[in-house]
Structure 1
């Protein structure tokens, strides 16, 4: 039976790509977490500005 890989390096790279996939999943999880955090921060800022406007105060800029 003939291998689908021409060299041992190609075979090793193929196997390594299977091993390295969890780090890709980890990166996607962190990106999703960061995106959720950004949305929450924007909403918090909008609510803060609305509350300050309602109370007649000037918003503080960090």
Structure 2
């Protein structure tokens, strides 16, 4: 078994596709992650990508559109 590297305070970016702006704001408060939201409606794009490492205090960009 190889040792795993632990990143202190690091988390994995979830796939936020299809989530509402309200869901995103709730998630960001719970995780301590800042979000920059563009548009309205539901998530159609995000940066960092799902599976990327994120840390508390980071800013994530979220794209929303009315129809997904």
TM-score if structure 2 supplies the norm length? 0.26
Flag the structure with more relative contact order, 1 or 2, with Cα contacts below 8 A and sequence separation at least 6: 2
Q: Which has the larger strand fraction?
A: 2
Say which one has the larger Rg. Answer: 1
Higher helix content, 1 or 2: 1
TM-score with structure 1 setting the length: 0.28
